[in-house]
Amino acid sequence: MHSESKVLVAGGGGFIGGWIVNSLLKKGYKDIRVVDIKPSSNWYQRFEEVENISMDLRTENSAKIATKGIDIVYNLAADMGGMGFIEQNKALCMLSVLINTNLLNASKINGVKKYFYASSACVYNQSLQMESSNPGLKESDAYPANPEDGYGWEKLFSERMCKHFYEDFGLDIRVARFHNVYGPNGTFVGGREKAPAAICRKIAESVISGNHEIEIWGDGDQTRSFTYIDDTITGIDKIMESSFTEPLNLGSSEMVSINELVSIVEKIAGIKVFKKYKLDAPKGVRGRNSDNTLIKSLLNWEPNTSLETGLEFTYKWVLKEMEKGTKNWS
């Protein structure tokens, strides 16, 4: 990989995709094509110095247009969101398989040299995530397959597609399994936001409104690990520069409960809130954490931004956006 390569960032109008474009520009890449289904006015980050296209990559023709003349593809395009969204939109999430299928085939046709696929920890066997004290999920724990219904199945199937395009056609594949990525310039309202952004929004709203009661989905004892966006971008770079072609965890191993997550944001905001638990809300698995043994052995690195540090940046950004009134958050 070098800065003269022609790069496609599919889903580049989204949260992680926008930060990838930002990173590529800082590293001197000049020939970047960014494609997203959303109108460009709704992209989380937009850069005038790149080629910006609003297009639906679920169609074969759009995928061929997007990959024409491209050396490197980053595929982050998908219909997804937090647990509330993916549990209630299983068919919509599974339709994202069209994006990866068409992009892989178009990449083969157009001679793409390297292809990155953004997968998810939702591929992991749900039977291994029934206790809050999760010891960490190894890459091999995706099989026997029993992933999150809908979204998880799509991600696991798309991983297999990548594997077989590497085996059958020689397309140089990299796959990262993201674990709850968060940070500034992301979704924090509207139903697609994940837990860190949702908690930051709820506590920021408490600061602004003076009403210190917030709603928590579940009993708050369910556990997760959350990965700051800077670590995610660094990890993607390291994975792309490596020779490893199998799926690899890209997640923090700092597991916390949702109640502990709230406590961290309370400390950052300087307030205490009253937690009202909504026990019938979508909760996902009981416990999930990233086992980083493999990434450390391969890359001599793992995500290392503490949750408190990452949440401080995220909370301050969310609060500022809400105070500016740039989002309809009420």
The residues that are catalytic are 151
Phi, psi at residue 310, to the nearest 5°? Answer: -65, -40
> What's the angle, vertex CA 216, arms to CA 181 and CA 304, rounded to 5?
25
Question: In angstroms, rounded to a whole number, what is the distance separating the alpha carbons of residues 17 and 66?
Answer: 15
Amino acid letter, 224 = R
Which residues sit opposite 175 in a β-bridge?
Answer: 117, 247
Q: Write out the two tokens for 218.
A: 């579940």
> What pairs with residue 216 in β-bridges?
277
Count other C-beta atoms under 10 Å from residue 317's C-beta. Answer: 18
* Type of residue at 177: R
Distance CA 12, CA 300 (A): 28
**Is residue 122 within 8 Å of residue 151, measured between CB atoms?**
yes
Residue 325: DSSP 8-state: T
Residue 171 DSSP label:
-
